[in-house]
Amino acid sequence: MSVHKKEIKRITTHVLQAMKARGEKIAMLTGYDYSMARILDAAGIDIILVGDSASNVMAGHETTLPITLDHMIYHASSVIRAVKRALVVVDLPFGHYQGNSKVALESTIRIMKEAGAHAVKLEGGAEIGESIKRILSAGVPVMGHLGLTPQSIYKFGTYTVRAKEEEEAKKLIEDALLLEELGCFAIVLEKIPATLTAEVSAKLTIPTIGIGGGKHADGQVLVTHDMLGITKDFKPRFLRRYLELFETIQGAVGDYIDDVKAGDFPNDDEQY
């Protein structure tokens, strides 16, 4: 078992920048609730992303689109109460920054004030530049997200690898450079070819965090429920499962049911 308790007391955007500069990889996982966030933080995770993937894994929706700002604030405040060391980044939900930078800032301020978050993440490039600028001007750190951006799933039509063609790859590089120039502190690169991740990561001074983007990113992120095997049928090539918790929990619950039915739980020592 490996627990990464480092000497750093708090992970900040400056700490992440220094990690990139010295070639130290950044580890990020999603978190949506207090109990799991306590475990992730105790293990030494660098960043906890309160992802809008909560819409899928916590609420059972097919896409990330239905989750609301109130839901995100609820999840984020639960995570924040658990965390002593990690940087907590919160996704701005669909509909809260596309096309209206004032709404983007108002939504961000709610996340920062009501949840106590440390930073926000937005999906997209040049088209959301105004929203990014406005949020940054209020002093809130912004993480970008390029490549497969799940809030645009109905535009893409599928969850397959993005930017395989030259034109899309060129636009992604331009967007990445723009996000750095605007002042983003890091960029998630989702499901793009490893060679493109390598190229973008070499061009940027801010860290890239890959998910399905190969080994050349400055850090990696996975959805916690996927890497722990709590979700069952989602098995993309990029996902490494560290546990098969669905079966483990199912087995434990089965044992509990058997014990209750057999009158074996509670026993004499488990009662008052």
**What are the residue numbers of the active site?**
190
DSSP E strands: which ranges in 148-203? Answer: 186-190
Do residues 16 and 87 make contact, with C-beta atoms less than 8 angstroms apart? yes
**Residues 6 or more apart from 105 whose CB is under 8 A from it?**
131, 134, 135, 138
Nearer to ligand KIV, 134 or 225 (CB): 225
Closest approach of ligand KIV to the CB of residue 259, in Å: 36
User: At 152, which amino acid appears?
Assistant: S
Provide the token pair at 57: 């894994």
Nearer to ligand KIV, 206 or 221 (CB): 221
The binding site for ligand KIV (CB under 6 A) comprises 30, 49, 51-53, 91, 188, 190, 211, 221, 223
121 in helix, strand or coil? strand
Cα separation of 129 and 232, whole Å? 37
Distance CA 9, CA 197 (A): 30
> Which of 224, 227, 243 is closest to 235 using CA atoms?
227
The one-letter amino acid code at 252 reads A
Instruction: Name the residue with the smallest CB distance to ligand KIV.
Output: 51
Shortest spacing between CB 253 and ligand KIV, in angstroms = 26
Provide the minimum distance between the beta carbon of 37 and ligand KIV in the complex, in angstroms, as a whole number.
14
Q: Quote the Cα angle for 12-16-21, to 5°.
A: 145
| Closer Cβ to ligand KIV, 11 or 54, answer by number | 54
Q: In whole angstroms, how close is the CB of 160 to ligand KIV at the nearest point?
A: 15
Distance CA 204, CA 21 (A): 11
Q: Which is nearer to ligand KIV, 49 or 169 (CB)?
A: 49
CB of residue 52 to ligand KIV, shortest distance in Å: 5
Decide whether 34 or 159 has the Cβ nearer to ligand KIV: 159
Taking alpha carbons only, the member of 87, 106, 103 closest to residue 95 is 103
Amino acid at 234: F
